[in-house]
């Protein structure tokens, strides 16, 4: 069992993330006492979006190359169209997703974030959900697509859209609470 106040979360993101899908989980987990790091290909500020309008930026805490997945209890992948579309072309980002799966740690992706799951080849025979335009991609990758606000299949947590964020965060918290804690760094 992992106490949320002692948990460590990694969010991977780049330009074009959906603002609410990064900031709301990050801020709520920090408020609960967790440590949350944002990793991106570079340390320069990344641009958030509020649907199709520019939103806030955030400066990553580390680069993807600096990530040591063994230090984290869970991985979060926000959506936004451009964010996962760019990250799925980044071999380091894809390997981070695979490494969390191999370690059987919770991996949570929302909206367009499941594109990263497809690229990492981890959705076959798994129950998943996403933004509607990705559902055929998920089915073609062998996923079992459901239209629910949050779908939990073992260590995999997926949600459809910003309106599902409360259920998404609750599922992340529950998965980490049930997981074995990561040794302190």
CB distance 127 to 98 below 8 Å: no
Name residue, tokens 């974030």: 113
Q: Residue 59 gets which letter from DSSP?
A: -
Question: CA 139, CA 70: separation in Å to the nearest integer?
Answer: 30
Give the residue among 10, 65, 17 at the shortest CA–CA distance from 34: 10
- Is 51 considered catalytic here? no
DSSP secondary structure code for residue 137 in this structure: H
Catalytic residue among 26, 105, 112, 160: 112
Q: Which residues are catalytic?
A: 112
């Amino acid at each position: 069992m992992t106490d949320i106040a002692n948990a460590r979360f990694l969010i991977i993101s780049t330009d074009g993330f959906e603002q609410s899908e990064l900031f709301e989980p990050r801020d709520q987990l920090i408020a609960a006492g967790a440590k949350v790091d944002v990793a991106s290909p570079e340390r320069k500020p990344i641009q958030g979006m509020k649907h199709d309008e520019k939103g806030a930026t955030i400066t990553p805490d580390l680069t993807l190359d600096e990530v040591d997945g063994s230090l984290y209890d869970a991985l979060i992948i926000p959506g936004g169209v451009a964010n996962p579309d760019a990250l799925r072309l980044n071999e380091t980002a894809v390997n981070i997703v695979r490494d969390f799966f191999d370690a059987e740690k919770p991996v949570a992706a929302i909206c367009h974030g499941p594109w990263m799951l497809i690229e990492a080849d981890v959705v076959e025979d798994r129950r998943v959900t996403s933004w509607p335009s990705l559902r055929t991609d998920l089915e073609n990758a062998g996923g079992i697509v459901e239209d629910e606000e949050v779908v939990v299949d073992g260590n995999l947590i997926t949600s459809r859209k910003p309106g599902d964020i409360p259920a998404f965060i609750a599922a992340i918290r529950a998965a980490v609470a049930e997981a074995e804690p990561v040794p302190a760094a």
